[in-house]
Amino acid sequence: MKVIAFNGSARMDGNTAILIQCVLKILQDEGIETELIQLAGQQIHGCTACGTCRKIKNKECKIVNDNVNLYIQKMVMADGILFGSPTYFSMMSSEMKALIDRAGYVGRSNGDLFKRKVGVAVVAVRRAGGIPTFDAINHFFLISQMIVPGSSYWNVGIGSSKGDVEKDEEGIKTMEDLGRNMAWLLKKLNSTEHKEL
């Protein structure tokens, strides 16, 4: 089993990455392979609504001058997908939104590529706006027919300066509980994957 995680923050190792790593550590402790991709510094282009992926159905986006097609393939190969984002003006980062838009369009145009994978959202926030970001990421998972496990609170950690989220004890616990619930669900799904649902 493998989980692919994406950090949509412009700060490569900031609060969002810290929260993501809390989840990934639990998954690793449960024997699940993980990979973290940091979008910081990358030029991730937005969807141009050209419709090529819907016409050609080759499981790729027509835009080829960034890494999105590689990331789509990594998502296809993974059992679980984690999207982490800071909160910018009450929403996810533009890089995360571009990845979600393009991966979502390709996935839905090619027979729902992410169907029945496990999806989790992780959000870093300074003060407010974290819940709309959390909801928007979960909307991607739900419209992609993915399975979303819960945690002991909404998957939001509070902090401004780098490392501040480590002081949010409830936020850290939420991430650890999320990791445990994701691992449990992945194992349950993996044990029945030979059965047609």
35-54 b/e (C-beta count within 10 Å ≥ 16 → b): eeebbbeeebbebeeeebbe
Tell me the C-alpha distance between 27 and 34, whole Å. Answer: 7
Q: Residue 121: beta bridge partners?
A: 83
Work out the number of other CB atoms within 10 angstroms of the CB of residue 163: 12
pLDDT at residue 50, rounded to an integer: 97
The series of mean pLDDT values per 10 residues for the chain, 197 residues long, is 98 96 98 98 96 97 97 98 98 98 98 98 96 98 98 98 97 98 97 64
Give the CA angle between residues 48, 78, 137 to the nearest 5°.
Answer: 50
- Helices (DSSP H) in the chain: which residue ranges? 15-29, 52-56, 68-77, 94-109, 130-143, 169-191
Q: What is the pTM of this model?
A: 0.96
Tell me the C-alpha distance between 147 and 97, whole Å. Answer: 20
